[in-house]
Structure 1
């Protein structure tokens, strides 16, 4: 538990005056002040309980017989970093993600658990809150603001208005997550507008997602109380949003990396930095192991010309100002939580020591605090509600010998368009064509147990495998199976049913690689290192077989994502997103 400032002021006041003694004093600090944009040498910081009581040149009056003194020896000291928008309901449990984030100096995470809600509804949201509590990192949550993506087609669970109001009463739930179907706002869809109003009445934050919005549509969106966006991919989009009073989270994560397009123009334009932040929007295990987290954003921004103190401010103070939490977090000053990083230099930005609430949790690049595994209820490990598959479950029938198929053509791992292909029908069954790079693709409702499913065709995948299947997808979480033959599609699907979720690659009836996701079919219970190894094997097994894309795991992830054009597949059908209509797999 952390203290409230209201209950701490007498003690902090007494320590600052020297009448009560500090628990910990850091001396000889080169303090990176995010309040004055300066480095203050020979600073001393006195900490009582989990908050800072004194910052100045001489904390000797706060020393007592039990006060611990750490001589920083002229190293650099900054507030802990924050990621203001990411999705941690993927790959690993929060306890495992926390270990890697802390090593990167990230002491606060602002989580949007949209996929755990998609699978588990309000009950799943509550369980995920528990998984993020009592860890040596601060995890703040928001109520997912994007479900259902499109009520006409979506299969996801979501929260009712009454459940949203109940959720924000939790002390770690700050408001509404990214409202990414912005047309629901501009068209004033009733449920969306009621949700926004309820959040504003509770003085909650509302996060935005404005990809593709501009001018009057963007104005309408902002006037609805949504004041942030992590979607700008260039400076012109940043500037338009800043001019309308928005806060910008510059994204540098596993799906998009936008720093290099934005930071140089910010500097040449002389833009105020006080509403700019860094965010990841989510990191896969390989990327966080290779690049880091918010520390990577700082390093890259400095290479692009940003001053170190300004990069630190964007990684710290600005985040908490946006979330209206500046009295508690974001800087090193009296009254603030003692979330403190110590650096050897201003180049690597890998902290040698990390304090959270005055407790040392990282020392010399190692986690030195116990992070307990949480118990996970059985129901959330049984969300793949599908029967055993046979190859007959993937049949597409036609009486014609020559069939014109409508395909989902992959332009990238994420972007699709409608294509077409001539296929043969043998004994009334239409097969995929590996020679023509035309695959079958299937989506099965694995959450509700309805047996609802769709079979279609996918083009331009390019891998010499039998099947690739996943139970994790944005934000429907259907079972998605891509295959060159029906038998391997059945093997892949049955493997995921048996494991109750994950990713799997199959060829000639054999499992080439597998990554189990035991929790809600989207999160592994295994260690970060084990998940990283299995994830790498998944991608490499597909890449080594000749896949046309460098990040093949993203393909099933985005195939059902209704917020992007132009054609998607869900258990309910193949959807033309712009026309909001279904497409038949064959003409």
Structure 2
């Protein structure tokens, strides 16, 4: 914001509010470092060099990096309210996140978006919102709400709303669905979501207005999308670990079109490993020049969203930055927002939105499968959000088959008590018990995986009793927290609840399970469990 006082301070005619001394400042425009002082007035940098200020702050030779930016995240996936999420990531040097609240919107509709905007305003972290484009995720999904272009239009111009979130309904885009087209026409900034899309369909998707993608899992896919003009968000979440595979995409020419995104990180990973600072550390450890990693984490992300007020510590931009003692370890010593050091205000109880949960807990007979033959089995891919469409010879009488790690997956409708769908999954590793949760992208029905029907039913019942949440069950032992440790004792894969939450995600190939049963994402339709069923 240009003000007469700011101009006077920039010219040295009046003292700045604060002068920061002795830092080595990173400039993402040139990917160079400059040992210099800089002056801040009204939260904005007004100049670099020798200045007078009402206050002075000695940065003591630390590396000074513009505030880190997460280019794509669902705060709900952290299992934290916005203010608690902010406490974690601000301490890691993040000052801005670009958030898509489509998880809460799929459950609560427009009031969920209003909740996220209101709670985001309670924290120093800038939570910039991309409105959810696909509520529900696909026309076949029945969640807690339907948001039309008209519903979204009333949020346009709201402070903090900057664009349209990931357009996941690729078939709708390619077929020219009129409501989806109306949503995309609301904003200049439109995020994409197009796993494995290639060739002429990719051309059409980009032509329709999708500008970015965070779903690339191979270098070949990312290169094709970059060549077609898309921004590439290199993602590193709890289960979606794409950084190492995609990093060779980044060089001095492509770094302006690449940025980091966490998408889905549980609170324990944020607390233990970090946020965008973790992406920087991993990128540098994998051989990327640190300056290019910092460029991606700051200016590249700002430019992707047209945020001309941040991303660099130059005159006219927000004085958002972090001080780092060592570039290899990238240990953030302190974070500043608008020129003021962020001090943890401690826990404040958040507001709690109403979340519908009207599920009917199934009986063991309701989730029974019968028959034998070649079955469609969801194959978990470790470190990826995608699944594999497996075909396995199965006799229902021998499920669960812990020897081959083929277990039953159940999705129970949470909104209308219409019943449960059943599929099979390979890769969870459970040897006993069951896990269940109401965090289940994107409709957030209750999803469960287990070794025995009785335990699956009991786990679903515990989630219903809680009014939504996560549960681990093994016989009479029922745990709500600590969940991960209990699940590990049962032999589960690392981060089992994140994998569980994606089992019903009908916009990511290849196989999923819904309250209706098995869903083939590639064919975009429901499928019977058995390919050729024999009773």
Corresponding position of 2:163: 175
Distance 1:477 1:106 in 2: 28
The equivalent residue for 1:582 is: 526
- The answer to whether residue 72 in structure 2 is matched with residue 79 in structure 1 is no
Select the residue among 337, 340, 363 that pairs with 2:318: 337
Task: Within 5 Å, give how 1:187-586 maps onto structure 2.
Answer: 187-199=175-187, 204-264=188-248, 266-267=250-251, 271-326=253-308, 328-361=309-342, 367-369=343-345, 372-377=348-353, 379-380=354-355, 383-387=356-360, 389=361, 391-392=363-364, 394-396=366-368, 406=375, 408-412=377-381, 414-417=386-389, 418-424=391-397, 438-446=406-414, 448-458=415-425, 461-511=428-478, 513-515=479-481, 534-537=482-485, 541-547=486-492, 549-585=493-529
The separation in 1 between residues aligned to 2:139 and 2:362, in whole angstroms, is 31
Instruction: Report SS of the residue matched to 1:316.
Output: helix
SS in 1 for 2:359: coil
Say whether residues 1:68 and 2:12 are aligned partners.
no
Residue correspondence of structure 1 range 76-115 to structure 2 within 5 A: 76-90=63-77, 91-115=79-103
**Of residues 28, 32, 37 in structure 1, which corresponds to 2:26?**
32
**Superposition TM-score, scaled by structure 1 size:** 0.83
CA shift for structure 1 position 85: 0.6
Contact residue 391 and residue 489 of structure 1 kept, 8 A: no
Q: How has the CA–CA distance of structure 1 residues 437 and 293 changed in structure 2, closer, same or farther, with 3 Å as cutoff?
A: closer
| Cα distance, 1:411 vs structure 2 | 4.5
Check 1:458–1:340 CA distance in 2 against 1; reply closer, same or farther (3 A cut): closer
1:135 to 107, 120, 123: 123
Q: How many residues align?
A: 526
Q: Does 1:151 align with 2:118?
A: no
RMSD of aligned residue pairs (Cα, Å):
2.6
> Contact 1:235 / 1:266 at 8 angstroms: preserved in 2?
no
Q: Deviations over 1:311-362 (max 9, x none)?
A: 2221111111111111x1111112211102122232222221211012211x
Whole-Å Cα distance in 1 between the matches of residues 141 and 177 of structure 2?
Answer: 16
Moved more, 166-175 or 278-287: 278-287
1:303 shift after superposition: 2.9
Displacement, 1:416?
Answer: 4.2
The Cα shift of 1:157 comes to 2.5
Measured against aligned partners, the alpha-carbon deviations of 1:346-397 in whole angstroms (never above 9, x if no partner) come to 2222221211012211xxxxx44456433224x23xx22125x463563537
Q: Which residue is equivalent to 1:525?
A: none
Query: Does the alignment pair 1:46 with 2:19?
Result: no
Matches of 2:369 and 2:178, distance apart in 1: 41
Residue deviations 1:499-531 (CA, integer Å, cap 9, x gap): 1111211111321x324xxxxxxxxxxxxxxxx
Q: Is the 8 A contact 1:264 1:305 kept in 2?
A: no
- The residue number in structure 2 matching 1:526 is none
Structure 1 residues 463, 445: closer, same or farther in 2, change over 3 A?
Answer: same
Q: Does structure 2 conserve the Cα–Cα contact (< 8 Å) formed by 1:208 and 1:227?
A: yes
Match of 2:153 in 1: 165
Q: Normalising by the residue count of structure 2, what TM-score does the alignment of the two structures yield?
A: 0.90
Runs of 5+ unmatched residues, structure 1: 362-366, 425-429, 516-533
Q: Which has the larger radius of gyration?
A: 1
Distance 1:403 1:509, change over 3 A: farther
8 Å CA contact retained: 2:107, 2:143: no
Structure 2 residues not aligned, in runs of 5+:
none
Q: How far apart in 1 are the matches of 2:500 and 2:363?
A: 20
Mean CA deviation greater in 179-188 or 164-173: 179-188
The 1:440/1:279 distance shift into structure 2, 3 A limit, reads closer
Q: Deviations over 1:459-493 (max 9, x none)?
A: 56442223221111111211112233333233212
| 232 and 579 in structure 1: CA distance in 2 versus 1, 3 angstrom threshold | closer
Give distance in 2, aligned partners of 1:281 and 1:71.
35
Aligned to 1:531: none
